[in-house]
Amino acid sequence: MAHVILGMLLIAPQSFYDLIKGFEGGVSFFYSASSGSIKRALDALLARGSIEVASVEPGGRGRKVYRVTDAGRDEFRAWMTQEPTGPDLETAALARLFFLGLLEPDERGPVLRRVVARAEAELATLSDLDAYLGGVDFPEEYRDVVVHQRATLDYGIAAQRFMLDWFRDHLDRHESQAP
């Protein structure tokens, strides 16, 4: 979540309230967060010097507006350009896609290629599991359970193929537009 917040603050300095609205208005399509988790991530970013308070509005509430520091810019860029990690590739891929325009044009293709490579690896793993399970003879009393478990695997394979095809197509379009 910290990297998503950094991306949002790189687009424009924002208050805590603005960040909540930003999550509700666009980021929530691929990343959900509570106000408490956003606040904890903001506090952690402040503590490590990735963001700073740009201004405090006068008045009773003293609304703070946050902006990214140079260290935060470096942290964001490193996250964007490294291999997508974690168990949820879709969220990692869509987060990078959402903020891809914040990178230099020559950095964008490699990010998309890393997503494609990870999607290919995950599809291969699911396909291997499918092939293995195709050779397993399950006891009759588990057939009804296995049918639906296999349907879950089929869904995962189809979803992974869709993601892979979509990112390959986006990469092709990106590379065809490159100068």
Whether residue 95 is contained in a domain is answered as no
Structural domains in the chain (count): 2
Return d(Cα 18, Cα 163) in angstroms, integer. 30
pTM: predicted TM-score of the whole model, two decimal places: 0.86
Whether residue 94 is contained in a domain is answered as no
Statement to judge: residues 113 and 60 lie in one domain: no
Whether residue 97 is contained in a domain is answered as no
Q: Which pLDDT score, from 0 to 100, does residue 61 have?
A: 74
Domain termination site, one of 81, 99, 117 = 81
Domain that holds residue 170: 108-177
User: Can you spell out the DSSP letters for 95-152?
Assistant: HHHHHGGGS-HHHHHHHHHHHHHHHHHHHHHHHHHHHHHHT----GGGHHHHHHHHHH
Statement to judge: residues 28 and 66 lie in one domain: yes
Pairing of strands 51-56, 14-15: unpaired
Render each residue's pLDDT in the chain as its tens digit; 179 residues: 899 999 999 999 999 989 988 888 888 778 778 889 899 999 999 999 999 988 887 776 778 899 999 999 999 999 999 999 888 899 999 999 999 999 999 999 999 999 999 999 999 999 999 999 888 888 888 888 989 999 999 999 999 999 999 999 999 999 888 66
